[in-house]
Amino acid sequence: MTTAGLRVCSQCTHLNPPDARFCNQCGKSIAQTGHEPEHYTPRHLSEKILRMRSALEGERKQVTVLFVDIKGSVAMSRQVEAERWHQIMDRFFGILTECVHDYEGTINQYTGDGVMALFGAPIAHEDHAARACRAALLIRDKLLLLAADLKRQHGLDFAARMGLNSGQVVVGRIGDDLRMDYTAQGQTVGLAARMEQLASGNSILISRYTHDLVEEGFTLKERSVLSVKGYSEKIRTFELMGIAATEPQERAAYPLVGRERELNLLEAYRVRACDKARGLLITISAETGLGKSRLCHEFIRSCVAQGVPTYSIRGSSHHRVEPEQPLRAFLREFLALPPLGEDQAASRMAIEQALTPYQPLPEALQESVFNLLGVGDGQAASDDVQRRVEQALELVLRLLHEGALREHTVIVIENIHWLDDPRTHDFFDAVFSMVPHIPVLIVMTSRPDYVVRWADRPYVRNMLLRPLNMADSMSLLGQMLGSSEELEELKLEIATRADGNPMFMEELVRQLTNTGVLSRDSRGYRLKRTPRGISLPPSVQAVVAARVDALPESCKRLVQIAAVIGRRVPLQLLRDVYAEEDFDAALSELMDQGFLYRDSGPDSRAALLFTQSLFQTVTHDALLSEQRREINRRIAEVIQRQPVVGSGMCVHLARHLAAAGEGRQAAEWYMHAAQRSSRSDLPEAVRRLDLALNALDTAPETEALRSFRLLVLARRLQYGVRLAADAEGLGGLVSQAESLIEEGCDKPSQAMFHIACGTWQLGRGESSKGLQAYHQAMALAEQTGDASLTLAAQVPLVHGLQISGQLDEAARQVDAALTMAAQLDAEAATVNASDQWLGYSPLQSLLVLKAWINLWLGRAAAASALLQDALSRAQRGKHGEQIVIALAATAYVQIERGEVEAGLSSAEQAVSMAASMENAAAEMMGMVALGRGQLRSMLWAEAVTGLEDALSRIGQQSFGLGEAARLEMDLSLAYLGAGENRKAREAAARAVERAERSGARLIQIEAQLAQVRAGLYSSRPLGFLKRYRSALDQLRQAIQECHARVLMPEFLWLHARWLRLRDEHQQAEELERQVRTLVADMGLAMPPVSTLI
């Protein structure tokens, strides 16, 4: 809901249009009962907002909303004259305005008898909730004084009520009068109004969302639990009573982790300052939450334990409004004052006694101490605050000059960025100039954006705290959450999300506890439910957003662009997108303030990194979608202007195009990026194709879009088969593709889908269906007249023909394809175009396929030559998958030729490369060759282990079922060699069953040969003689029909074995001679079965 001057109904809290006279929800009159004063914002604040208006508009902000109104204002206004009531309202609004502005809140709306104020917008404040609470308490106290005056003068029972709630709003347009349009997220504003309505007179009611942000610094009393429209859970409410008696100290519930070196260094500095009687000033700089205060807490505790006089002063954001508070605390500690009671005279005497060593002091100066510590006389106490601060600072300087630090002393000044302002510049300059002359160690903490004016002094040492590393982060979380194993994954997620920031880890744990993910009992934390991701707590978002908003406008615009680019920011890209002359100055400021740093890798001069991922995340998420879309569009334009979009930039370009709303273009670049990564990283290629499909969901539906989506689905199906995973998911892709074809897609995309579908069916062991799909693809390709597509379609068709046993047709097709490629100068044109269709080189694939065909036909030497050419081409093209395929085929041929050692080496290379790419299909090819090599070497036990493992993996993956039959055949032989005859027969039977189910003719023949072999070489072979007579005849016929000459040596050797078992030794010897002659002619080694006894 966007609001600009909306009016809140005091009865039901509904937000109504600015000109509404009655509530649109309940009908109550909402006519103004008073008047709206002139909208006023202090000059320094208004100038800051207007100066950064363009950078602030259109951002999400974590805010606290404050509603204030007068209880019963309508009835009260009738008790006095209109002019008098006007004066009362002026005083009332003056108090509200002053108090809100004191804490840098902005009044966004006058509601007739009250105001709506925002803290944290348009300028973000990390402590927006604390500021709002302090402002509300100040308003309450001042209104009580006003009420007492009105009761005395006019008999009025004047009372105001206040309500606060914290949440997210979107800042829209900021007018010249500083009024904001804003969009409330959920019920952020409405719940604040509801709190105000439920509050009693002179009280402040806050929601649990505000309570969670301020509970440690304020006194709160729980009130009712409400059911509020728009919230699924009941809302706890609390009354804000006051500020806590002492400011929240650094929590020390857990041992110090990851800061031991810094703590030891501080101790070393202290010893040095003591030994040399010359002071040191140590500056500790770090982002909020990295542990500056915790480090100081531990150092102070160590010093006190050693009896070292130690004093501290701690700054907070509200100290600029309440400058006396830190000085008051410091003087009490410095003068070792006892608690001051209600007896003012006794308290003054205690102070005078503490000041005795430094007398004489000017009377006015001593009286200023009484005033500062709350025991001054009435007249002096009414002096202005600034004067009292000046006198207190003068007193501290006098104390130092008079030798208050005669012995070695430690002073800790925390958060000097809140204390060092124009009022205190001279004081700090004077104090720090004394450091080299007195035995004092001063430790000073600040944030990176604070400029340490004394950094170049010789007695100054600078210390920078960096985020905890992962090991220390996990150790700290172990201290927080305990050692339960069920929490280990959650700890890792928290550590990653917090990015090494201890405070952020604590806030994340707090949020997970408050939202019911974690529970805590006497035994520690327990996981109640698994979180759906871990969102950033509002407190963390506010801290980071405040740092960003504190930047100059140019720096903020630059960091917003960098955040949209990503965690790693190419320097030239950032410069070109920003396109302003002040780029170098703005970038230098961002680096000085610790937002960005140069990448230390090989491209360190070309890229930047965010120092914390949260800087990038929060800055990015604060932008509205339209702003992000525009920045992404500019980034994409800059990248596309580059002469060549490098491989690493393709995904970035696609991501920015998708975020800019250009779904079709984004998908094209994701597709391009997927093809590149498929050469070495298949899982990444699949991820990119999924992103392409997601991007297409945002584009308008047309036939061209459907056709392109079909292409993406086809490629996704191909890569999924190679990964050999998620069978159910791939089936879903097929269903989606078939639905698209029914709706209408062009022929090229249909052809590519049938190629992919055929490969999927082959992987499932459905060879006949796969071959049919390949024929469909070829027919569609020829209809298009596109030579590159036709060439691309011939590759899988040749493969399908080969495994179906149609070797003559496969040989004809592969030769025709190779001739086409040569005739069309395919190396330069058609082959490259076909590469785009398939995602790999068709020419290289055709060479490998022709090598396999030659091997089947018994031409091993020709197969070796073809594979040498194919492997060389793959290596030149640096195509990982094609290298593996060529290596696996080379290994198989080498082993069949008897070059076992070389074959095993090639197979091991193939398996290793495929595993590194997570290409399960290619890895399986290498494992088949590796197993065959082990059989040739008669390494029976190793072969059994390797083949069993490969079969297990195929079973888990539900793909590669065609290969499973071949693995079972080889496993059967390995079992025979190892003497496990029964297992050999069982494996052979499984091989036959799988081969018949696959429909792959050549594999069926090999499986039947394995079954005959298992029987004839069993411990009781005679029982198989009669059974295998007809089987041998059928095998001879099948081998001859397929022209699978390479299988003939094993067939003849088994036939000879059959004859020997029948005592027909002469005929058997003749067949064995034929085998030796045949393998020599084909360039092969003797079949492995010949090694069996």
pLDDT band per the 50, 70, 90 thresholds, residue 829: very low
Task: Report the relative pairing of strands 518-521 and 524-527 from DSSP bridges.
Answer: antiparallel
For residues 5 and 210, the model is more confident at: 210
The sign of the dihedral angle between the CA atoms of 573, 579, 585, 587 is negative
CA atoms of 857 and 866, how far apart (whole Å): 14
Distance CA 793, CA 790 (A): 5
pLDDT of residue 235: 87
For 19, residues 6+ apart whose C-beta sits below 8 A from its C-beta are: none
* Beta carbons of 239 and 204 less than 8 angstroms apart: yes
Q: Residue 55: which pLDDT band, with cuts at 50, 70 and 90?
A: very low
Please tell me what DSSP assigns to residue 29.
Answer: B
Residues with Cβ < 8 Å from 1078, sequence gap 6 or more?
Answer: 858, 1048, 1049, 1052
Q: How confident is the model at residue 38 (pLDDT cuts 50, 70, 90)?
A: low
Report whether 57 contacts 171 (CB < 8 A): yes
- Asked whether the beta carbons of 1032 and 1012 are under 8 A apart, the reply is yes
Burial status of residue 814 (CB atoms within 10 A of its CB: 0-12, 13-18, 19 or more): buried
Contacts of 639 (CB under 8 A, 6+ apart): 573, 645, 649, 652, 653, 656
Task: Give the pLDDT confidence of 1058-1073 residue by residue, as tens digits.
Answer: 899 889 999 999 999 9
Secondary structure in 3-state letters for 723-759? HCCCHHHHHHHHHHHHHHHHHCCCHHHHHHHHHHHHH
pLDDT score of 807: 92
**Residue 754 pLDDT > 80:** yes
Tokens 């914290």, residue? 166
pLDDT of 619 > 80? The answer is: yes
Distance, in Å, from the CA atom of 247 to the CA atom of 414, rounded to the nearest integer, reads 13
Distances in Å between the Cα of 114 and the Cα atoms of 70, 90, 117 are 6, 11, 10
DSSP code of residue 879: -
Whole-number mean pLDDT of the chain? Answer: 84
Beta bridge partners of 203: 161
First to last CA, the chain: 87
Q: Name the residue among 233, 236, 183, 191 with its Cα closest to residue 67.
A: 191
Task: List phi, psi (to 5°) of 829.
Answer: -130, -70
Contact call for residues 773 and 758 (beta carbons, < 8 A): yes
- Res. 382: pLDDT tops 50: no
As a whole number, mean pLDDT of residues 29-57 equals 53
Q: At residue 6, does pLDDT exceed 60?
A: no
Quick check: 64 pLDDT over 90? yes
Q: Are 1052 and 1075 in contact (CB under 8 A)?
A: yes
Nearest by Cα to 115 from 70, 148, 69 = 69
263 vs 844, higher pLDDT? 263
Confidence of residue 747 (pLDDT cuts 50, 70, 90): very high
Band of residue 825 on the pLDDT scale cut at 50, 70, 90? low
Closest CA to 623 of 577, 557, 674, 679: 557
Range of lowest pLDDT (424-428, 479-483, 556-560, 1053-1057): 424-428
Name the residue type at position 579.
A
pLDDT computed for residue 838 by the predictor: 67
- C-alpha span between 447 and 611 (Å, rounded): 14
Q: Tell which wins on pLDDT, 962 or 378.
A: 962
Please report the pLDDT score of residue 528 as a whole number: 86
Q: What is the DSSP letter of 437?
A: G
Position 860 scores a pLDDT of 94
Helix (H) or strand (E) segment spanning residue 697: none
pTM of the prediction?
A: 0.73
State the sign of the Cα–Cα–Cα–Cα dihedral 379, 385, 387, 391: positive
d(CA 953, CA 614): 41
Q: pLDDT digit string (tens) for 174-184?
A: 555 545 555 55
CB-CB contact of 55 with 586 (8 Å): no
Q: Which residues pair with 461 in a beta bridge?
A: 282
Q: What is the pLDDT of residue 842?
A: 81
**pLDDT tens-digit map of 648-692:** 788 899 999 999 999 999 999 999 888 888 777 888 888 999 999
Give me the pLDDT at residue 365, please: 78
Token pair 């990982």: residue? 880
**Cβ–Cβ < 8 Å for 558, 586:** yes
Say what the pLDDT of residue 831 is: 46
Chain centroid offset of residue 688 CA: 17
Centre a 10 Å sphere on the Cβ of residue 216 and count the other Cβ atoms it contains: 11
- pLDDT per position as a tens digit, 152-164: 988 899 999 999 9
Answer whether 411's CB lies under 8 Å from 440's CB.
yes
Report the C-alpha gap between 623 and 54 in whole angstroms: 12
* CB distance 209 to 128 below 8 Å: no
Q: How confident is the model at residue 29 (pLDDT cuts 50, 70, 90)?
A: low
β-sheet bridge partners, residue 222: 238
Cα separation, 27 vs 402, whole angstroms: 72
Residue 143 predicted with pLDDT over 80 = yes
Region 96-125 average pLDDT: 85
Please name the amino acid found at residue 470. M
Q: Is the pLDDT of residue 602 over 80?
A: no
**Predicted pLDDT of residue 59:** 73
The closest alpha carbon to 839, from 810, 870, 796, 797, belongs to 796
Q: Is 805 exposed, middle or buried (0-12, 13-18, 19+ CB in 10 A)?
A: buried
Answer with the residue of higher pLDDT: 308 or 180.
308
How far is residue 125's CA from residue 131's CA, in Å, rounded to a whole number? 9
The percent of residues in the chain predicted with pLDDT above 70, rounded, is 87
The gap from C-alpha 626 to its chain's centroid, in whole angstroms, comes to: 22
CA dihedral 221, 225, 226, 232 (to 10 degrees): 120
What mean pLDDT is predicted for residues 497-502? 90
Asked if residues 111 and 8 have their Cβ atoms less than 8 Å apart, the reply is yes
* pLDDT surpasses 90 at 963: no
Q: Which residue has the tokens 């070695």?
A: 408
CA-based nearest residue to 214, from 116, 121, 317:
317
Query: Which of the residue ranges 250-254, 425-429, 811-815 has the most confident prediction, judged by mean pLDDT?
Result: 811-815
The SS3 of residue 568 is strand
- Give CA–CA dist 748/905, Å, rounded: 41
User: In the chain, pLDDT over 90 holds for what percent of residues?
Assistant: 40
Specify whether the CB–CB gap between 557 and 578 falls below 8 A: yes
Number of residues that make up the chain: 1093
Q: What is the mean pLDDT of residues 986-994?
A: 91
Q: What is the mean pLDDT of residues 539-550?
A: 85
CA distance 346 to 115: 44
What are the distances in angstroms from CA 720 to CA 546, 612, 797, 920, 981? 46, 36, 20, 10, 38
Is the model's pLDDT at 1079 over the cut of 90? yes
DSSP 130-175: HHHHHHHHHHHHHHHHHHHHHHHHH-----EEEEEEEEEEEEEEE-
Confidence of residue 274 (pLDDT cuts 50, 70, 90): confident
Question: At residue 2, does pLDDT exceed 50?
Answer: no
Q: With 90 as the cut, is the pLDDT of residue 753 above it?
A: yes
Q: In 522-570, which ranges are continuous DSSP H helix?
A: 538-549, 553-565
Instruction: Say if residue 893's pLDDT is above 90.
Output: yes
Residues 775-801 have pLDDT tens digits of 999 999 999 988 888 988 999 999 999
Question: What is the pLDDT at residue 680?
Answer: 75
Q: Which of 64, 355, 82 is nearest to 206 (CA)?
A: 64
Burial tier of 530 (Cβ tally within 10 Å: 0-12, 13-18, 19+): exposed
Euclidean distance between CA atoms 233 and 239, whole angstroms: 20
- Averaged over 561-576, what is the pLDDT? 93
For the residues 865-880, what does the mean pLDDT come to?
88
